[in-house]
Amino acid sequence: MQTLGMPHGTLSLFYIFHFYLFGLIGVISALLFVTRKSPVAAALWLVSTMFCLAAMYILLDAQFIGAVQVLVYAGAIMVVFLFVIMLLNLGQGEGIDVRGVGWKIVAGAIGLGILAQVFALTRAKTPVNLTLPQGYAAEQVAQHGAVAPIAAPLFNEYLLAFEVTSILLLAAIVGAVLLGKQKEARDVA
């Protein structure tokens, strides 16, 4: 097995290949997600993106986050999205695109600007006071486990935001049901 010398250790060619493969598939799936006219097709491309992110988390030794990514985002949230799409009968795509060419050029320019910022940030030198000491994350996982560092802040400092988000999702589902019922009543009348 061929290895490449990295500052944090050695990574096998198998690992590097799969990391970049899932990254490439994830980026392509995300681009297909935002360019589809059919909401159902877009939702399925979003599921593909979420699975690629989960695979990358697992490759980064964050198995818990990878499992949560599949269960919560690719599973539960996508079921809610598809439920709302089907309830509102948004499955058929529009025949024409109402966005003009000018807006597409503006969106492309903004995308290139964001991409340039990402490249600039990845090339920048990280200040010493923002970096963790060597082996700090592994030491914390050995002391507290892999789930406790995620669960403790989620259910202590961020509990209100977590609950407000769940109420917001519930309100969105109730709103979609009411919109679907109103549309159904108009179609019958």
| Inside any domain, residue 130 | no
Q: Provide the angle, in degrees to the nearest 10, between the axes of the packed helices 136-144 and 148-155.
A: 80
Q: In which domain, by residue range, is 148 found?
A: 144-189
Rounded distance between C-alpha atoms, residue 95 and residue 61, angstroms: 45
Local structure of residue 186 (DSSP, 8 states): H
Q: Are residues 155 and 88 in the same domain?
A: no
Taking 90 as the threshold, does the pLDDT of residue 27 lie above it?
yes
* pLDDT score at 107: 82
Q: Are residues 12 and 83 in the same domain?
A: yes
On average, the pLDDT of the chain sits at: 79
Which of 124, 43, 51, 113 shows the shortest CA–CA distance to 84?
43
| Inside any domain, residue 100 | no
Number of structural domains found in the chain: 2
Residues in Cβ contact with 22 at an 8 Å cutoff, skipping those fewer than 6 apart: 52, 55, 56, 59
Q: Are residues 174 and 88 in the same domain?
A: no
Q: What is the pLDDT of residues 72-95, one digit of tens each?
A: 887 877 787 777 777 776 555 555
Q: What is the pLDDT of residues 109-160, one digit of tens each?
A: 988 988 888 888 778 777 777 777 888 878 887 888 777 877 888 788 888 8
Q: Are residues 150 and 65 in the same domain?
A: no
The CATH code of the domain that includes 64 is 1.20.120.1200
pTM of the model: 0.55
Residues in Cβ contact with 93 at an 8 Å cutoff, skipping those fewer than 6 apart: 36, 37, 38, 39, 41
Rounded distance between C-alpha atoms, residue 122 and residue 60, angstroms: 18
